[in-house]
Each structure stands twice: as C-alpha cells, then as structure tokens.
Structure 1
C-alpha cells in the first residue's frame, strides 16, 4: 500500500519537474533574444546619430557653397556692369570721333597724314617691344641652359667652394681661392686645373660667349715677394686663371678679359673669418652680348 502511494506521488511529480525544466529553457532563450534585440537597437541608434551628423555636415557644406555662389554671382554682376559702362563710354567716344571725321573740314590733309604716321609708329613700336621681349626671353633661356651645363660639368664639388648663379641677366661663377690658389699667393693648387678644366669644357662648347675673370681678395693687407698689395694679388690671380684657360684648355684669348677687384666688392663681412673666406674668390662673369641688342635697335629705328 505504501509502495503504491509512493508510485502515485512520483508520477504526479514528474510532470511538474519536466514543466520546470522547459520553462527555464524558454526563459533563457527569451533573455538571449531580448539581449540580441537590445544590441541591434543600440546599433541602429548609433547609425541614426551618425546619419544625422552627416546630414548636418552636408547641409553646412551646401550652405557654404550657396554663399560662395551668391558672392560669385554678385561679383560677376558687378564686373559685367562695369564692363558695360566701359563699352558705353567707348561707344560714345567713337561716335564723337566719327561725327568729327564726317566733316572733312575738321581734319586737314596734313593732320590726316600725321595721324596715319602716328598709328604706324604705334604699330612699329609695339612690334619692336615684342621683338625685344622675345630676345630677352631667348637670352634668359640660354643663360639658364649655360648654368645647368656648368653645374652638370662641375658635378659634386661643395657648394661652399663654387657657386653658380644668374643675377639681372648675367651668369656668375664664383670659385673659392682654396680650390685654385695657395694661401696668399697666385700659385695654383693641384685641384685648380681640374676645376678650371670642367669650366673650360662648357665655355669651349659656347664659342660665341665672352667672359671676364675677376680676382677678389679679403681686406687683410698683404705684401710679400712679388706681391705689392691686394690689388696686385687680385690681378695676378685673374691673369693666372686666364693663362691656364688659354694655354692648357685652348680657350680663345679674344673671348677673355682679366681684371682685379682687390677687396672692394665683398660678398660678406670682412670682420669675420668666415666672411673673409667667402670674399677670397675668383669670379667668372659671362658678359652679356650687348652688340646683338644694339643691332636690333638699329634695325628697328
């Protein structure tokens, strides 16, 4: 009897236990689904905020662009109005001139001839100016090509020791004295011929170019055997360079001029060691071919 009662109780408890297990699983599944939906909702909210921010940014850009267009439109309208005023003014002037010319008594034959010559001169001068501008542009192009050739020939020499530049249409090549000469002397160094040979190669390839070799010193007085002062030293250094270019590298002497400038055209302050080092140099000046411009002037007169 007791055994039957236990069996009845067990049979009654089994459905309850099974129901409890099923309910817990459903609850866990619903919680997971809720968590997933909550995550999706938060993602959508973030995307919505990003979209709203992007809309605001694009609206700001649009407003800015519209403002710029309005400004440009106003500026264009003002320009057009100004041009229309100028056109009206020119029309009025033209009408006045035409009305005057209709009456041939206003302009005599001599005056008409004078006006014609003036107009011809204006056209000739305009053409002359264009020719000059073209000649100057060609000269500038040749100078730049010469600079590039010199820099290419000289190669990797230190820029502190050799400097090539164009100033006011003239090409200058400044070579430090330590590359060319022994200290306080016009005796050349071992590297002098190497440097001058590279320069001479470019100069020989441009036989129409004339140039001046200038010697420059610092302000420290010098007097030694064979050298009276800085004037003397600068001249002798210039003539030494000219002789090397002529005798060693075959540069035509008719193309060269040797000059000494002593201490009187410094590039830097002679009060410092560095400044004096810069000032002690040999300068090759590519002379402008003024005769070509003079010929141009003569043919256009």
Structure 2
C-alpha cells in the first residue's frame, strides 16, 4: 500500500514537473514574443514618426514647388504680355517706317520730276539763245530755280526803260520757251547800279528798275502772248548787286534784267499729295 502510494505520489510529482517546465517554456516564449512585439511597436512608431516627418517635408516641398510653378506661370504670363506688346510696338514701328519710306520716295519722285522738267527748260533756253553773246545773257540754275540774266545794254538805252528792237528778238525766243513750259511761273526783275538818276519821268533807281521790269512783262504779254497770270514784274533798284559799283565794269554787270523762272509750287505739292494717296 505504501508502495502504491509512493508510486502515485511520484507520478503526480512527475506530472507537476512537466507542466511547470512547459509553462516556463511558454512563459519564455510569451516574453520573447512580447519583446518582439514591443520592438515591432517601437519600430512601427519610429516608422510612423519618420512617415510623418517625410510627409511634412514632402508637403513643404510640394507647396514650394507649387509656389515656384505659380510664380513661373505668372512670370511667363508677364513675358508673353511684354512680348505681345513688344511685337505690337515693333509692328507699329515697321508700319511707320514703311510709311516714311513711301513718303520719302514720293517726295524724291516729285523732286526728280521737277528737276527733269527744270533741266528740259534750261536745255530749251540755251538752245534758243545760243547765238546771243555770253556776256549779254547768262542762264544759271540755283536750288531748282532757273535765272536768265540779260544785260542792260542789250535791253535798254542808257537811263531808259523802252525795250530795244534787238531785245525784242531775245524776248521772243524766251517767250517761245516759256509758252511751251506751262509748269512754270516767272518774275521779271529790274536791277540798276547805284548811280543816282535824275529825269523828269523817273524818280529814282527804284522807279527805273520797276519801269524796266514792267516794260519787259508788257512785251511778253502783248507781243508774244505769254499768259499774264504767270508773270510778276518787280523792281529791285540798286540793292542786289552782283559786282562792285566802284568800277565801270562792275556797274555794267549790276545794270541787268533778270527773269526768274519758278516751278509752280501748287503743282509741285500736288504731285507730292497725289503720290501720298497712291502710297496709302
């Protein structure tokens, strides 16, 4: 009986020892698992913190990029606006330059046309008067204006204003040319030296120069059918000399009648205006 009891007790004790061992093993596993779980939770927490930090960093970078992109878009818009305005200004400048070029070309064409007509006039005058002594008649062109200067001794007697028969032959040739050139007007100028004149029908050099110019104009109108609306008579007296009055030769040069042939300015500007209209 005692022997059976002892065996029973031994079995119970052995059973109890196995359970404690398993329990200890299980407890060790639990602790190990718990430690691993704690470690995993710590790593998870660290990961979450790092994730939050990265998210915050990314969000900051995204905001910065968004701001930068918006600024770039605004700048690009400004550049586009500036470029558009610049292009418009450039286009207007080019149009203005083109218009100026057309105006300059038109004016040059008008001037060239006038110069061509003036050259034709000079050629015609020189051809018509080529048999006249060069000392008695001179033809010059200054700034587009033709000057025909006829000496006093060819046109008038000393101190007189009646046109000589020889002078009428010269005036007939001049009239033939100017009648053919309708684009010109002209002024007949009388000039004297500075010697005082004293005659019953002539007051002074002003009067003498004016009477001589008027005599020439009347001859051109009445005998050679020059349109009087194209002519002007002017007395210049002694005040525009071409030589010194201190010598006889100089005084002879100053006593002259000058025909100033002028292009009709209204026709000249009419050519420019017509050209401007065609250019538009």
**Distance change >3 Å, CA 276–CA 101, structure 1 → 2:** farther
Which of residues 84, 87, 107 is equivalent to 1:132? 107
Alignment of 1:201-216 (within 5 A): 201-216=176-191
Please list the CA deviations of residues 66-95 of structure 1 after superposition, one character each: whole Å capped at 9, or x if unmatched. Answer: xxxxxxxxxxxxxxxxxxxxxxxxxxxxxx
Which of residues 115, 125, 128 is equivalent to 1:153? 128
Aligned residues: 201
Q: Distance in 1 between matches of 2:122 and 2:101?
A: 32
Task: Note if 1:179 corresponds to 2:164.
Answer: no
- Decide which moves more: 171-180 or 151-160: 151-160
- TM-score w.r.t. the length of structure 2 is 0.67
The Cα shift of 1:139 comes to: 1.5
Secondary structure in 1 matching 2:251? helix
The Cα shift of 1:237 comes to: 0.4
Counterpart residue number, 1:105: 81
| Conservation of the 8 A alpha-carbon contact between 2:110 and 2:271 | no
Which consecutive residues of structure 2, in runs of 5 or more, have no partner in the other structure? 1-75
Q: Which runs of 4+ in 1 moved over 6 A?
A: none
Q: CA RMSD in A?
A: 2.1
The Cα shift of 1:297 comes to: 5.1
Using CA pairs below 8 Å that are at least 6 residues apart, which structure has the higher relative contact order?
2
Counterpart residue number, 1:260: 235
The Cα shift of 1:115 comes to: 3.0
Q: Distance in 2 between matches of 1:128 and 1:268?
A: 42
Which consecutive residues of structure 1, in runs of 5 or more, have no partner in the other structure? 1-99
Alignment of 1:6-25 (within 5 A): none
Please list the CA deviations of residues 192-222 of structure 1 after superposition, one character each: whole Å capped at 9, or x if unmatched. Answer: 2111111111111112321101001111111
Q: Distance in 2 between matches of 1:101 and 1:168?
A: 57
Q: Which has the larger radius of gyration?
A: 2
Q: Distance in 2 between matches of 1:104 and 1:256?
A: 65
Secondary structure in 1 matching 2:148? strand
Counterpart residue number, 1:163: 138
Q: Distance in 1 between matches of 2:149 and 2:245?
A: 17
Secondary structure in 1 matching 2:82? coil
Q: Distance in 2 between matches of 1:216 and 1:101?
A: 76
Q: Distance in 2 between matches of 1:202 and 1:156?
A: 15
| Conservation of the 8 A alpha-carbon contact between 1:174 and 1:282 | yes
Q: Distance in 1 between matches of 2:77 and 2:231?
A: 62
**Distance change >3 Å, CA 295–CA 204, structure 1 → 2:** closer
Alignment of 1:67-86 (within 5 A): none
Secondary structure in 2 matching 1:268? coil
Counterpart residue number, 1:61: none
Q: Distance in 1 between matches of 2:271 and 2:113?
A: 14
Secondary structure in 2 matching 1:171? strand
Which of residues 237, 244, 251 is equivalent to 1:269? 244
- TM-score w.r.t. the length of structure 1 is 0.63
| Conservation of the 8 A alpha-carbon contact between 2:114 and 2:268 | no
Q: Distance in 2 between matches of 1:297 and 1:208?
A: 15
